[in-house]
Amino acid sequence: MTLFQLTLKNLRRRRTRTLLTIMGIGLGIGAVVALLGLAWGLEDSWSDAYKARKTDLVVRRSAGGLIAQPFSEEITTRVRKVPGVAAAAGLLTEVLSIEKVPMMVVSGREWGSFLWDTLKVVEGRLPKDASERGVVLGTLAAEMLEKKPGDKLGLEIDEFEVLGIVDGGAVVENGSVIVALPILQEMVLKEGDINFVNVRLNDHDADPHTVAKLIEKQAPGCRVDIASEVLSQNDGVKTFQAMNWGTSIIAILVGAFGVMNTMFMSVFERTREIGILLALGWKRSRILRMILLESVSLCLAAGIVGVLAGLVMLKILEFMPWMQGRIEPAVSWQLISLALGLAVAVGLGSGLYPALHCTRINPSLAIRQL
Amino acid sequence: MLPKLAVPANRLPLMPDAPADPPRSEVVFSLQDVRREFDDGHVLALRGVNLEIRAGEFVAIIGGSGSGKSTLLSLLGALDTPSSGSIRFQGKEMSEMPDLGEFRARHVGFVFQSFLLLPTLTALENVQVPMFELGWSRAERQRRAGELLQAVGMEHRLDHMPDKLSGGERQRVAIARSLANEPDILLADEPTGNLDSQNSVQIMDLLCRVQREKNTTMILVTHDPSIARLADRVITMKDGQVIADQPADRMAPSSAGSIS
Ligand SMILES: Nc1ncnc2c1ncn2[C@@H]1O[C@H](COP(=O)(O)OP(=O)(O)OP(=O)(O)O)[C@@H](O)[C@H]1O
Ligand SMILES: [Mg+2]
């Protein structure tokens, strides 16, 4: 018999209570897994999208939250002249409600720029020129809108023909409606405006950070981010992440108090047994370890339950209509080990107080208890 | 199995005048004016106890209910600390010991009236509990626990839970457990108090055998004069004080029980 086996026996004797406690803290950990899976998924999805577009740097207005503020398309021309820049493409990105889909990314792309080169035509064709009044749909967008080439698509007050369906190589790309820049500018009354410039660097000689600095000099009021970091640098996303953490921490705290309560009940009803252990020569440090081990085992079991629950939640979310084409949840070993590490931390944290209480038990009084 | 030791000369049953100057062994416990109060001094469980107990002695403590016998035993086993006065173990002041757990783990074995086995552990596991602090391997613990249970005649109940054992069987397991750390002091608080007379005889036989074979210092609380008579020395308590301390064979004959 080992200390760990003793621990398991103790947890098994009140199965229902143990299970309910595991559910409580497990839900908290599940929430963390789901929320972080989403948040990290959001970041990954966008960094994948930029990778698919072969974009290295992103220029946008330094002010503004989740929705990027517009600026003049002149900036694109200036960016192109910066040493180290291989190509630059102006974009106007809007989130619009289209037919029965409440939120769709509509991406107006500078005609002739590299942003059109990375789109693989699956069905139909791309527009003939910048002025053709038609759209192409990413594969997921086509599915969500239930359109095929030749169909009509109502966009704001106009109707456009679906010219083709494209595979952009990333979820965000495939979830978008893509049009030539002037058409979107006219439609949303932002003529001459863009809200992003995507920059591709010269392969060899360009250090992204140096080039970013140079671009910022040429484009006053704008900031330049490395493509893979755009999302994490965004204030809106930072707020979203903070809210996620806030919610998760509350869920974890609720669970942690549940664990503490359970551990307290468990040691109170075992006061006499702990007195016996002390009488039999157990050191107080061993009692402390036993209680902490119980609490950590409880939480680790909850961690496993929580990870599974979180993964199930993410799978369900993935198939929700408002999630499709926007975020692909990121499930990584990093996320799972973070969740389990959190579980262990909660176990130690909530077990400590009950365990310390045990070390103060007077064995003679404890043994007298009925 | 417990080794069969020769019975020490001063315990031979038919030795005439046994108490007359036997070679005296070292003092294990020495108590001076030991007091124990409860409830802020409203209850005086012990009011000035002075005692000396020597190595290898078998001491019985008798006395009415509430006279402080269990309280005294708790203090000797370091389960509790006195409100005032001094208890020395082998000359060392116990209140100055850095770790009383260490003292219990190395020196003391307990047997209680209500057995106090851990309910979630099998007999074999219960016996292993005191061995955790002794640095023995898991296999070693298991082997020794098996041997101890065999020595108390419980080898056929190794994997039984305490609630599946009879009272006498539980006390045998508890005795095996009290011997698990090879203690030099055995403290027993009414070990036969919950047993019928037949089981009482068997349990007392077992305790006396262990005490003799290992020359353990045994201090045993009992209500039963016929059990007290098995001891070398009987201490009588009343109202938290020792009122008599004499060799067992000087005890007034009693009609109670006919043990041994
Ligand atoms: N924790 C405590 N709080 C208050 N009073 C206590 C406590 N422990 C013991 N006492 C009191 O101290 C006195 C001595 O108790 P103790 O248990 O030592 O008696 P005892 O001689 O063992 O009696 P019995 O033969 O009935 O077991 C009793 O009056 C008891 O009520
Ligand atoms: Mg008592």
Provide ipTM, 2 decimals: 0.86
CB B111 within 8 A of CB B185: no
- Residue A251 within any structural domain of the chain: yes
pLDDT digit string, tens, across residues A76-99: 999 999 999 999 999 999 988 898
Domain count, chain B: 1
SS3 call for B127: helix
**With an 8 Å Cβ cutoff, are B104 and A273 in contact?**
no
Share of chain A above pLDDT 70, in %: 97
* Residue-level pLDDT at A309: 94
Q: What separation in angstroms does the CA of A287 have from each of A194, A293, A346, A356, A358?
A: 66, 10, 19, 9, 7
My answer on whether A359 and A241 are in the same domain is yes
Residue A248 pLDDT level (bands cut at 50, 70, 90): confident
Strand partners, A189: none
- The amino acid at residue A20 is L
* Residue-level pLDDT at A322: 66
Domain count, chain A: 2
The whole-angstrom distance between A263's CA and the closest CA on chain B is 17
CA distance A88 to A8: 62
Domain that holds residue A353: 3-45+237-367
Sort A234 into a burial class: Cβ within 10 Å, 0-12 / 13-18 / 19+.
buried
- Residue A58 within any structural domain of the chain: no
CB B236 within 8 A of CB B245: yes
- Residue B14 within any structural domain of the chain: no
Last residue of a domain, one of A190, A220, A250: A220
C-alpha dihedral over A238, A244, A245, A248, to 10 degrees? Answer: 180
Please state the separation of Cα A153 from the chain's center in Å.
31
- Residue B90 within any structural domain of the chain: no
My answer on whether A86 and A206 are in the same domain is yes
* Residue-level pLDDT at B11: 46
Rounded to the nearest angstrom, the distance between the alpha carbon of A135 and the centre of ligand 2 is 92
My answer on whether A259 and A140 are in the same domain is no
Please choose, from the candidates A212, A213, A241, the residue with its C-alpha nearest in 3D space to the C-alpha of residue A227: A212
| Residue of A13, A279, A286 with shortest CB distance to B120 | A13
CA distance A79 to B26: 97
- Residue A231 within any structural domain of the chain: no
SS3 call for A321: coil
- Residue A50 within any structural domain of the chain: no
* Residue-level pLDDT at A245: 84
* Residue-level pLDDT at B9: 43
* Residue-level pLDDT at A172: 86
CA distance A304 to A295: 14
Question: β-strands A57-61, A196-201: how paired?
Answer: antiparallel
CA distance A139 to A146: 10
* Residue-level pLDDT at A251: 87
CB B127 within 8 A of CB B177: yes
CA distance B224 to B111: 16
Last residue of a domain, one of A220, A251, A272: A220
CB B240 within 8 A of CB B44: yes
- Residue A297 within any structural domain of the chain: yes
Taking CB atoms and an 8 Å cutoff, what residues of chain A touch B121?
Answer: 1, 6, 9
Last residue of a domain, one of A192, A220, A248: A220
This prediction has a pTM of 0.80
* Residue-level pLDDT at A41: 86
Mean pLDDT of A339-368: 93
My answer on whether A192 and A88 are in the same domain is yes
CA distance B130 to A276: 10
pLDDT digit string, tens, across residues A301-330: 999 999 999 999 988 888 776 666 667 788
Pick the ligand that lies closest to the CA of residue B83: 1
CA distance A211 to A79: 10
My answer on whether A144 and A181 are in the same domain is yes
- Residue A53 within any structural domain of the chain: no
Question: β-strands A152-155, B217-221: how paired?
Answer: unpaired
**Which distant-in-sequence residues (6+ apart) come within 8 Å of B160 by Cβ?**
B122, B123, B169
My answer on whether A174 and A288 are in the same domain is no
Q: Taking the CA atoms of chain B, what radius of gyration do you get in angstroms?
A: 18
* Residue-level pLDDT at A65: 62
CA distance B26 to A179: 102
Number of alpha carbons in the 13 Å side-chain half-sphere of residue A344: 5
**With an 8 Å Cβ cutoff, are B99 and A364 in contact?**
no
Say if ligand 1 is within 6 A of residue A362 CB: no
DSSP B136-159: --HHHHHHHHHHHHHHTT-GGGTT
CB A326 within 8 A of CB A231: no
Mean pLDDT of A3-8: 90
My answer on whether A31 and A119 are in the same domain is no
Say if ligand 1 is within 6 A of residue B137 CB: no
Spans of chain B below 70 pLDDT: 1-23, 252-260
B98 C-beta neighbours (distance < 10 Å), count: 7
A58 C-beta neighbours (distance < 10 Å), count: 25
Helix (H) or strand (E) holding A153: strand A152-155
Which is more confidently placed, A63 or A79?
A79
My answer on whether A205 and A95 are in the same domain is yes
Query: Given CA atoms B149, B151, B156, B157 in this order, what sign does their dihedral have?
Result: negative
Share of chain A above pLDDT 90, in %: 62
- The amino acid at residue A30 is G
My answer on whether A155 and A30 are in the same domain is no
Say if ligand 1 is within 6 A of residue B255 CB: no
Instruction: Write down the mean pLDDT value for chain A.
Output: 90
My answer on whether A67 and A203 are in the same domain is yes
pLDDT digit string, tens, across residues A14-31: 899 999 999 999 999 999
| Residue of B106, B116, B125 with shortest CB distance to A1 | B125
- Residue B180 within any structural domain of the chain: yes
Sort B86 into a burial class: Cβ within 10 Å, 0-12 / 13-18 / 19+.
middle
Q: Indicate left, alpha or beta for A302 from its phi (over 0: left) and psi (-120 to 50: alpha).
A: alpha
Strand extents, DSSP E, chain B: 27-38, 43-54, 58-63, 84-89, 92-93, 108-112, 185-189, 217-221, 233-238, 241-247
My answer on whether A33 and A152 are in the same domain is no
Rounded to the nearest angstrom, the distance between the alpha carbon of A339 and the centre of ligand 2 is 51
* Residue-level pLDDT at B10: 46
Residue A66 pLDDT level (bands cut at 50, 70, 90): low
CB B31 within 8 A of CB B87: yes
A214 pLDDT more than 80? yes
* Residue-level pLDDT at B5: 44
Mean pLDDT of A185-189: 91
My answer on whether A214 and A109 are in the same domain is yes
CB A141 within 8 A of CB A104: yes
- Residue A334 within any structural domain of the chain: yes
- Length of chain A in residues, anyone? 370
| CATH number, residue B133 | 3.40.50.300
**Which distant-in-sequence residues (6+ apart) come within 8 Å of B107 by Cβ?**
B89, B183, B184, B185
* Residue-level pLDDT at A171: 86
CA distance A52 to A227: 11
Query: Given CA atoms B167, B170, B175, B176 in this order, what sign does their dihedral have?
Result: positive
Domain that holds residue B244: 58-74+99-258
Say if ligand 1 is within 6 A of residue B71 CB: yes
CB A256 within 8 A of CB A350: yes
CA distance A247 to A22: 19
| Residue of A9, A277, A284 with shortest CB distance to B129 | A277
